[in-house]
Amino acid sequence: MPKSFQPGERRALEKESKSLAVELKGVYKRFDKVVAVEKMDLEFEEGTLVTLLGPSGCGKTTILRMIAGLESPTEGDIFIQGKRVNDTPIHKRNLGMIFQNYALFPHKTIFDNVAFGLKYRSVPRQETRDRVKRALEMVRLPGVEDRMPSQLSGGQQQRIALARAIVIEPVVLLMDEPLSALDENLREEMRMEVDNLQQLLGVTTIFVTHDQREALSMSDRIVVMKDGRKQQEGGPEDVYNNPVNHFVADFLGHSNFINGEVLGREGEYTKVRVEDGNEIYAPGSEAWKPGEPVELVVRAQKFDLLPDKEDVTAPEINTFKGIVKDRSYMGGEVSYFVELANGTVLHAISMVSLKPYRRGETVLIHVPPRHCGLLKREN
């Protein structure tokens, strides 16, 4: 079984110097009058897993299909290992592909499904048997060569699709929402499987998804997209903790957005008066000028909830009194909606305590200044 990697280990790979496996230069794609991808520059380093993340219709699958050779760019160039491939047919690009619907041949055995790509590469019979066997062992399904796809579960079929993609020893692995058809438990299992296998093989992987959890847990880098444009690119922690605009902050996680105005600097912090009249401290920066309209962003998980009792000492800044208006139990977490005295409702997600707060209970809600983000107000 592939080695399991702990959180943070994948991110350490970024420090290494790598050559480019895939590069897009000024790639633009139009279908009739509809622009699917604006002029796009992207670089995918050797051995990394990069996720194209965004809602349906943002252009991420179109980019994947252009890299694969299933679509041609209207403008721009695509390079694989330094070679321009705009005019190179799909079967000569040596790419492994995995789709949402597995795309297995129902009338062929598992062996024939996995060996399909080798057949068209004129690989000798014995070598084909050896490589198929090795690929099935890597996806933890040894000995299923003689079965038919219908005899396997959905998760097992997805592993067969993975084996078929890696058996050809591709230079790049392309994955288009490969886990979305699975139930949540299987998705979690396959997410780890794909992540571990990719790191074991060291194959450059471009992964398309709309699922933020998949992107954050698996990726070396994330490219967040909207309306055919790249919104932000970076490591998972950077994109999550330092969103560059409202869309990225909203798409990646549960966020509170509050309009405000910069009052000025106070020590190491920037002081902001939000629209409900409260004053909040955020990380300081001389770039923010007094009177500038801003949008305050606080992740729901960054709030601390404290009981409103005399023996409880709360931080002096960024602490407000409110009433729990609603709550939802989510297993290991509780989602709270807390209404402040001025009517502002804040969304907070906390780990389950021995005694979760009740609806109607008065609480203190606090957010450390370091967890308050400031964005330029877009409207």
The model's pLDDT over 172-190, given as tens digits with 9 standing for 90+, comes to 999 999 888 788 888 888 8
- Look at residue 312 in the predicted model and tell me its pLDDT: 80
- The contacts of residue 2 (CB under 8 Å, 6+ apart) are 138, 193, 196, 197, 199, 200
* Residue-level length of the chain: 379
Q: Is residue 305 part of a domain?
A: yes
- Look at residue 4 in the predicted model and tell me its pLDDT: 38
Question: Rounded distance, CA 234 to CA 50, Å?
Answer: 10
Average pLDDT for residues 97-116, to the nearest whole number? 91
Q: Is the pLDDT of residue 1 over 80?
A: no
- Is the domain of 236 the same as that of 262? no
Average pLDDT for residues 90-98, to the nearest whole number? 92
- Is the domain of 236 the same as that of 325? no
Question: Rounded distance, CA 327 to CA 133, Å?
Answer: 51
- Look at residue 13 in the predicted model and tell me its pLDDT: 45
Of 209, 233, 249, the residue at which a domain comes to its end is 249
Return mean pLDDT, the chain.
90
Return the beta strands (E) in 69-220 as ranges. 75-80, 83-84, 95-98, 172-176, 204-209
Q: Strands 75-80 and 20-31, how do they pair?
A: antiparallel
Average pLDDT for residues 189-217, to the nearest whole number? 91
- Is the domain of 265 the same as that of 294? yes
- Look at residue 2 in the predicted model and tell me its pLDDT: 38
pTM of the model: 0.89
- Is the domain of 330 the same as that of 211? no
Q: Is the pLDDT of residue 10 over 60?
A: no
Return the beta strands (E) in the chain as ranges. 20-31, 34-45, 49-53, 75-80, 83-84, 95-98, 172-176, 204-209, 221-226, 229-234, 255-266, 269-274, 279-283, 293-299, 304-307, 319-329, 333-340, 345-351, 362-366, 373-376
Q: Is the pLDDT of residue 378 over 90?
A: no
Average pLDDT for residues 229-256, to the nearest whole number? 94
User: Which residues span the domain enclosing 353?
Assistant: 254-376
- Is the domain of 237 the same as that of 361? no
- Look at residue 8 in the predicted model and tell me its pLDDT: 41
Q: Which of 27-36, 175-184, 325-334 has the highest mean pLDDT?
A: 27-36
- Is the domain of 302 the same as that of 190? no
Give residue-wise pLDDT tens across range 117-136: 998 888 999 999 999 999 99
- Is the domain of 260 the same as that of 218? no
Name the DSSP class of 8: T
**Number of independent structural domains in the chain:** 2
- Look at residue 14 in the predicted model and tell me its pLDDT: 46
What CATH number is given to the structural domain containing 367?
2.40.50.140
Q: Is the pLDDT of residue 16 over 80?
A: no
What CATH number is given to the structural domain containing 15?
3.40.50.300
- Is the domain of 287 the same as that of 334? yes
Q: Is residue 117 part of a domain?
A: no
Of 343 and 77, which is predicted with more confidence?
77
Q: Is the pLDDT of residue 372 over 90?
A: yes
Q: Is the pLDDT of residue 353 over 80?
A: no
